[in-house]
Structure 1
Amino acid sequence: MKNCERLANLALAGLSLAPLVVKVNPNVNVVLTACLAVYVGCYRSVKPTPPTETMSNEHAMRFPLVGSAMLLSLFLLFKFLSKDLVNAVLTCYFFLLGILAFSATLLPAIKRFLPKHWNENFLFGPTALEVEFTRSQIVAAIPGFFFCVWYASKKHWLANNILGLAFCIQGIEMLSLGSFKTGAILLGGLFVYDIFWVFFTPVMVSVAKSFDAPIKLLFPTADPARPFSMLGLGDIVIPGIFVALALRFDVSRGKGSQYFKSAFFGYTVGVVLTIIVMNWFQAAQPALLYIVPAVIGFLAAHVIWNGDIIPLLEFDESKLAAAAASSKDESSDLTSSDSCKKDE
């Protein structure tokens, strides 16, 4: 499942030791930037039709194991190979991913200024390896390419953050948990994953200090000993797809953003609490330790208060997608039947 593999990449965090450029309050910027990414990604995830691909319970249970294997593999790579060599390979990998993510994030805005027929799909390549794209996507890829060239050449913290935000928005927009049961399984598993690898082993911190790629947000500080504060993209995308599910649940019931507000407020509280504890102990903290209980807790309290437990637990986007497809087929059959009657 490609979406799961992409999310596993986002769950890992690294630290780029770029020079101090401007003095900002990293605590405020971490909260504002993370919340902005979740908010934008959630609303972009609302589509006219339900997502056709959703995460299963099995994938959700397996995901912490996949993430752990990737994290341990990176730890061993940095330990036994040259850090510069590993980061050079990662830079090439994220250069290509960055073009895709950046251009996809810009695409809705760019499409408004282009002819409608430029949004029609084209197929390129041999049958077995056909690639589908539009002219609009090619146009959007141009600024994406030059921006990623700037990032790869300068590794500026601002370029890192912009690419990181693009990854977050695309991850939240594209990934669907399917149901709140699957979401609870995923967040519960990664809650334990984050605690174990941060508190009980040096692996997460070691990889974070060595990993130089746009899978974390960096915020300059005034402390020479710690030039940057950072937040891993996994701490945005993973709870973000759960918050997005709450928004689509509201939309499916015509309730506006009733439960989305609770889940989003819980995410904000979790990020703020992470920063408070981190500053209090002056040590790295597993953000999901605070974000997961806050998101699920605020949403659960609101649902219980309104008596909507059963509708929430029964909500399943894969079933909605199947129903929508069935309805579309029936509509198509009726149209064909009416056409035949007219011909007669």
Structure 2
Amino acid sequence: MAEHRLAEQLGWAYSLVDSSQVSTFLISILLIVYGSFRSLNMDFENQDKEKDNSSSSGSFNGNSTNNSIQTIDSTQALFLPIGASVSLLVMFFFFDSVQVVFTICTAVLATIAFAFLLLPMCQYLTRPCSPQNKISFGCCGRFTAAELLSFSLSVMLVLIWVLTGHWLLMDALAMGLCVAMIAFVRLPSLKVSCLLLSGLLIYDVFWVFFSAYIFNSNVMVKVATQPADNPLDVLSRKLHLGPNVGRDVPRLSLPGKLVFPSSTGSHFSMLGIGDIVMPGLLLCFVLRYDNYKKQANGDSCGASGPANISGRMQKVSYFHCTLIGYFVGLLTATVASRIHRAAQPALLYLVPFTLLPLLTMAYLKGDLRRMWSEPFHSKSSSSRFLEV
């Protein structure tokens, strides 16, 4: 009996370090780190453009920003979980009616996002071959050779995904969506971060734990795992192209999640991209604040902290603290799913393990009031950021 119990415990412990779980941990953390640094570099590039514009025009507008970057305010943070709930209900009740449109829209967004993910690699490859001059395409705009190459590769990957429906291609598109959303969306303060993550925690818990009591089904799990009809199959049936044209393509699992198979192939580990993007926005915010504080203090961390805080703690960055909290929260969510043998709302564990250490460290360092309302000065610092 004791040997059997020991074998069960060893098997349970081994399941936590299964290849699918390890892949989920590593990829989610890499996406957050990479997306955060891409966001930081975009700030640097925008500042360089503002400098060029101000030097050429002779005036400087400190409020000018990149139109492609979206900053979430308090009102949007409060209503985003409500909008997400409405979208979830639409997908739950009317999925058969909107699945083709939703699949096409998702494929278009994934194409653009994956092109953004590939852009640095394409810039590196095309730099020795051609100058970074933009090529005009009329009303479509002007693009560099690297941008055209990344977009072409992204379109090719999406087409192969539509034809094959392979999970690895779906993961690649989901990774592009994660990085693009982390890089292009900004949280302006800790107050907005707390409002957004707290609301999404309630949203996640309700739709995973309590939706079955109202709708007789776990709405979140059903929407996340329900495959959609392949647009090629639908087009073939609409145009009556015959039974052998476009009918053998598989149904598509949409890139709203990351899935990784276990080493035995018996099961998949799944993590929604919202569980990566939303904490990732917080990590992006604290990375920008770490960079701002380092510049403001002249590279001397802790100059403005209370005297009773040790120098070692002052050297710990908010980014590293929050990233460790994300890892611990993800590990806790994995353990909880194994114990309960059911899907868990990951944000129930990720939000406390990221926000609480961050709030505690900000209070001890004396930065909480500044981070809560106006963490950044209106005039951005001009020093260079780290390159990715």
Alignment correspondent of 1:280: 339
1:102, distance to aligned residue in structure 2 (A)? 1.2
Query: Is the 2:134–2:142 contact (alpha carbons within 8 Å) kept by the matching residues of 1?
Result: no
CA deviations on 1:41-67 (whole Å, 9 max, x unpaired) are 111110215765411101111100110
1:223, distance to aligned residue in structure 2 (A)? 7.5
The answer to whether 1:70 aligns with 2:87 is: yes
Alignment correspondent of 1:231: 271
1:145, distance to aligned residue in structure 2 (A)? 1.2
Alignment correspondent of 2:19: 25
Of residues 118, 130, 143, the one that matches 2:132 is 118
Cα distance in structure 1, aligned partners of 2:26 and 2:86: 32
Alignment correspondent of 1:105: 117
1:310, distance to aligned residue in structure 2 (A)? 2.1
Alignment correspondent of 2:256: 215
Name the one with the larger helix percent: 1
Alignment correspondent of 1:18: none
When Rg is computed on C-alpha atoms for both structures, the one with the higher figure is 2
1:96, distance to aligned residue in structure 2 (A)? 1.7
1:137, distance to aligned residue in structure 2 (A)? 1.5
The answer to whether 1:206 aligns with 2:222 is: yes
Unpaired runs of at least 5, structure 1: 1-23, 328-344
The answer to whether 1:165 aligns with 2:175 is: yes
1:154, distance to aligned residue in structure 2 (A)? 1.1
SS in 2 for 1:45: helix
1:227, distance to aligned residue in structure 2 (A)? 2.9
Query: Is the 2:261–2:267 contact (alpha carbons within 8 Å) kept by the matching residues of 1?
Result: yes
CA pair 307-286 structure 1, distance change in 2 beyond 3 A = same
Alignment correspondent of 1:156: 166
* TM-score with structure 1 setting the length: 0.77
Cα distance in structure 1, aligned partners of 2:36 and 2:156: 27
The answer to whether 1:296 aligns with 2:355 is: yes
SS in 2 for 1:118: coil
Query: Is the 2:289–2:375 contact (alpha carbons within 8 Å) kept by the matching residues of 1?
Result: no
Look up the equivalent residue of 1:143 and give its one-letter code.
Answer: L
1:229, distance to aligned residue in structure 2 (A)? 1.7
Query: Is the 1:263–1:298 contact (alpha carbons within 8 Å) kept by the matching residues of 2?
Result: yes
Cα distance in structure 1, aligned partners of 2:71 and 2:133: 25
Cα distance in structure 1, aligned partners of 2:137 and 2:151: 17
SS in 2 for 1:200: helix
* TM-score with structure 2 setting the length: 0.69
CA RMSD of aligned residues (A): 2.6
The answer to whether 1:263 aligns with 2:322 is: yes
Look up the equivalent residue of 2:201 and give its one-letter code.
Answer: F
1:200, distance to aligned residue in structure 2 (A)? 0.4
Look up the equivalent residue of 2:223 and give its one-letter code.
Answer: V
Cα distance in structure 2, aligned partners of 1:160 and 1:268: 24
Cα distance in structure 1, aligned partners of 2:289 and 2:75: 22
CA pair 28-114 structure 1, distance change in 2 beyond 3 A = closer
1:113, distance to aligned residue in structure 2 (A)? 3.7
1:117, distance to aligned residue in structure 2 (A)? 5.0
Stretch moving more, 239-248 or 87-96 = 87-96
The answer to whether 1:37 aligns with 2:31 is: yes
Cα distance in structure 1, aligned partners of 2:316 and 2:171: 28
Query: Is the 1:114–1:136 contact (alpha carbons within 8 Å) kept by the matching residues of 2?
Result: yes
CA deviations on 1:178-206 (whole Å, 9 max, x unpaired) are 11111111001001000001000121122
Query: Is the 1:247–1:257 contact (alpha carbons within 8 Å) kept by the matching residues of 2?
Result: no
Cα distance in structure 1, aligned partners of 2:133 and 2:187: 28
Look up the equivalent residue of 2:33 and give its one-letter code.
Answer: Y
CA pair 291-61 structure 1, distance change in 2 beyond 3 A = same
Query: Is the 1:177–1:242 contact (alpha carbons within 8 Å) kept by the matching residues of 2?
Result: yes
CA deviations on 1:118-137 (whole Å, 9 max, x unpaired) are 35485732xxxx65644432
1:28, distance to aligned residue in structure 2 (A)? 1.4
Alignment correspondent of 2:280: 240
Of residues 47, 51, 58, the one that matches 2:75 is 58
CA pair 241-122 structure 1, distance change in 2 beyond 3 A = farther
Stretch moving more, 29-38 or 205-214 = 205-214
CA deviations on 1:279-321 (whole Å, 9 max, x unpaired) are 111000000000001100111122222222123224345x63x
Cα distance in structure 1, aligned partners of 2:143 and 2:316: 33
Cα distance in structure 2, aligned partners of 1:222 and 1:190: 32
Superposition map of 1:83-94 within 5 A? 86-94=98-106
Between the two proteins, what is the percent identity of the paired residues? 31
